Chain A
Amino acid sequence: MIGRDLLGIEDLDRDEIERILETAEHMREVSNREVKKVPTLRGRTIVNLFFESSTRTRASFEIAGKRLSADVINFSPSTSSLKKAESILDTARTLDAMDPDAVVVRHSVAGVPHRIAEVLEAPVVNAGDGAREHPTQALLDLFTVIQEKGRIDGLTVAIVGDILHSRVARSNIYGFSKMGAEVRVAAPPTMIPPFIESFGVKAFTSLREALDGADVVMALRIQNERLTGSFLPSVREYSNTFGIDRAKLNFAKEDAIVMHPGPVNRGVELSHDLTDHRPSVILDQVRNGVAIRMAVLYLITGRRRRSVAAPQEDGGDA
């Protein structure tokens, strides 16, 4: 059983993560059918409330909801922080008044899904908040690694790139650590968050050392605005030092796999060749994302809306 909302992997324990992964196993089977739809969430309404633009994650949640027969509504308010017509909480309350069964929230500022969850009756699924968490991404990454390696326990996972600004990194640090892997992060010093060791990970500024003995190499996307300026001197410098190609992949275990949350800056974090060919499993990650989101929506939307004051049969007047 998982909690009412899914705000982060931080809040889950190992049993809960395993429960979601097991459920996703069943959901994957649905996607393999000729008719990719089951009536599980028929009559339920899911709102994708995306304050930050997204095509991939939103499409994944939308397809996941539709394969379960839910009605999925996409709502993307304008997010100009300078001149906003409505506050985030007012937007959320307005949608909540239309009685959705789950609200999937993405926002560029950490903590917004928490604040929204505080005021909503509907359960909230975090689809990414600032540099904090992106729990369904970590779940689909765990799912993909299990598919490839048969386990998480005892593996060594190296996450490479802009750890400082990455919610994918944080969620995966929580997820892989809780499932028994050793997690390492590797980045230029300007992109390693202060006190990241407090997460129980080892931080490296040498890619070679970070990859030594790694079973999984996860490259992160470098946002375009960070490629130049105060964090990195240049694209070339980054791709020379931290971009993963076949030569650098040799630092890792022979059977290491390569992952990326997408979209890939080809030739920056990952070479063209590795983006398209094994051992990278990028499209499997995308495919598994649908199954994971089906599982999460199923587990969360099955709940009754919070504090819905349904008349009690015993006539209680509270």
Chain B
Amino acid sequence: MNRILIRGGRLIDPASGCDETRDLLIQDGRIAEFGEDLETRGAEVIDATHCWVSPGLVDLHCHLREPGQEHKEDIASGGRSAAAGGFTAIACMANTDPVNDEPATTDFIIDRARHDSPVRIYPVAAATRGLKGEVMTEMSALVEAGAVAFSDDGRTIMDSGLMRRVLEYSRLVDVPVVVHCEDRTLVNDGVVNEGPVSTKLGLPGNPAVAESVHVSRDVMLAEITGARLHVAHVSTAGAVETIRQARDRGLNVTGEVTPHHLTLTDEEALGFDTNTKVAPPLRSAEDVRACREALCDGTLDAIATDHAPHAVHEKDQEYTIAPHGMIGFETAVPVVLDLVRTGEITPIELVRRMSTHPARILGQQGGSLAVGEPADVVIIDPERNWTYDPAKGYSKSRNSPWAGRQLVGRTVATIVGGRLVYHVDRGVLVP
């Protein structure tokens, strides 16, 4: 009988509203009991004094690069990095090589995840074949194979007629369609947020309106189709406003925001560090403020990392040529804890947006510490000081704007299905 007792932690369970100091007992892979001074006999005891104990974090948006780009990341390394960040389940995007646009590829990812990854992996399948924006994928077969959502992500579907059909057809399988909203004609060759910073840097600007125009289109299409629209990595005040209005009208629209869009502005690019290059780009302080407000007031449901690994030699190029993206699993918790420290959000509401809501959006288990639930649990020390060094992390890549920075707050332990898969002092333990 496999027992883990997490002792003395602050139990934060958004599903039940519980936020108090309790012991938590895990037995045979499930949440067994919580209370005070629980019996420790036969259990592995993890001390969680001064720590949060909450349902494992669920990431709606990451890139694991396998199959095809294993020099950046693979399912094993990405899964380990996620575990070290406190995630117990992650949804990976379809822009692999080959693209995850047919059941065999979805099967492969799920099979590889079962053997290689310490955390649960939910494949997001392409919405159109080859991410080409021409022919929609076989959604029912892909869902049968295990796809949890559909998205062409960064290859934004510009053809509004096709997008309408994709949304309509998705109702057949009742899973979300995840959209990366950037009108490509407005983005043009832009690589940093259009504004004073792009003018100063002399780099092509990517205007905020490229995002808000596209969010407006997709919200309108969601309205006439009744599909479940999920807006990925919202970065602008304009997009936030459109989503707010859509939700006021009762539309089935959800949204996520990344740790970097919550905390970093376009001024990060002033040193030409290509690790600050991301799509959508880091925005103005005003946009950051709007995103924070929207997360806190519930307009945006979830935090998602958009973990996007790239090799050093790929990032070490001209700013215009270097690929978009930054890794994010291992820095997500300390970075977003900033919102708790400023008093903008309570711990339980933060956990809701990193665990309960993303699990619900994906239609998967998790996000709850109810007795009998699979024991996906994270222990977070919100005060722990550390210096982030990507070279000491688990991702194969190092493209992080937080490299070398002092961070506060860290994942102490991650438990997936009752197995301790990560402990800060012992590293990733399985598989």
Contacts and interface: CB of A to CB of B under 8 A. Distances in A.
Interface of A: 10, 81, 87-89, 107, 109-112, 114-115, 129-133, 167, 170, 193-196, 198-199
Contact of A194 (B195, B313, B321): B195
Given A87-B313, A109-B320, 7 more contacts: A109-B318, A110-B203, A111-B272, A131-B203, A133-B202, A194-B194, A194-B207
Contacts of B202: 110-111, 129-133, 167, 170
Contact of A114 (B196, B207, B272): B272
Interface string B17-31: 000000000000000
A132 B271 CA distance: 13
Contact of B272 (A115, A167, A193, A199): A115
B318 A112 contact: yes
Nearest to A112: B318
B316 interface: yes
B318 A199 contact: no
Contacts, number: 62
Contacts of B319: 109-111
B387 interface: no
Interface string B110-130: 000000000000000000000
Contacts of B321: 81, 109
A193 B196 CA distance: 9
A110 B318 CA distance: 8
B385 interface: no
B14 interface: no
A198 B207 CA distance: 17
A194 B195 CA distance: 6
Interface in B302-321: 313, 316-321
A-side binding surface: helix, strand, loop or mixed? Answer: mixed
Interface residues of B, number: 20
B201 A111 contact: yes
A185 to B, nearest CB: 11
A194 B318 contact: no
Contacts of A194: 194-196, 198-199, 205, 207
Interface in B263-280: 271-272
Contacts of B199: 193-196, 198-199
Interface in B187-226: 194-196, 198-203, 205, 207
21 contacts: A81-B320, A87-B313, A109-B203, A109-B318, A109-B320, A109-B321, A110-B203, A110-B272, A111-B202, A111-B203, A129-B202, A130-B202, A130-B320, A132-B202, A133-B202, A170-B202, A193-B198, A194-B198, A194-B205, A194-B207, A199-B199
Contacts of B272: 110-111, 114-115
Contacts of B203: 109-111, 130-132
A64 to B, nearest CB: 24
Nearest to A192: B199
The 7 closest A-B pairs by CB, nearest first: A132-B202, A111-B272, A131-B202, A110-B202, A109-B318, A195-B196, A193-B199
A283 to B, nearest CB: 27
Nearest to A133: B202
Contacts of A132: 201-203
A196 B202 CA distance: 11
Contacts of B317: 87-88
Contacts of A195: 195-196, 199
A28 to B, nearest CB: 30
Contacts of B316: 87, 89
Contacts of A193: 198-199
Interface in B204-262: 205, 207
Interface in B52-99: none
A87 B318 CA distance: 9
Contacts of A133: 202
Interface string B319-350: 11100000000000000000000000000000
Given A132-B201, A133-B202, A114 B271 contact: yes
A111 B274 CA distance: 10
Contact of A107 (B196, B207, B318): B318
A132 B198 CA distance: 9
B142 to A, nearest CB: 33
A261 to B, nearest CB: 15
A88 B195 contact: no
Contacts of A114: 271-272
| Most chain B CB inside 10 Å of its own CB: which residue of A109, A115, A131, A193 | A109
Contact of A198 (B196, B201, B271, B320): B196
A129 B272 CA distance: 12
A131 B189 CA distance: 13
Contacts of A87: 313, 316-317
A131 B321 CA distance: 15
Contacts of A81: 318, 320-321
Nearest to B198: A194
A109 B204 CA distance: 10
B37 to A, nearest CB: 56
Contacts of A111: 201-203, 272, 318-319
Contacts of A88: 317-318
Contacts of B196: 194-195, 198
B286 to A, nearest CB: 13
A218 to B, nearest CB: 18
A133 B320 CA distance: 16
Which among B203, B271, B272, B320 has the greatest number of chain A C-beta atoms within 10 A? B272
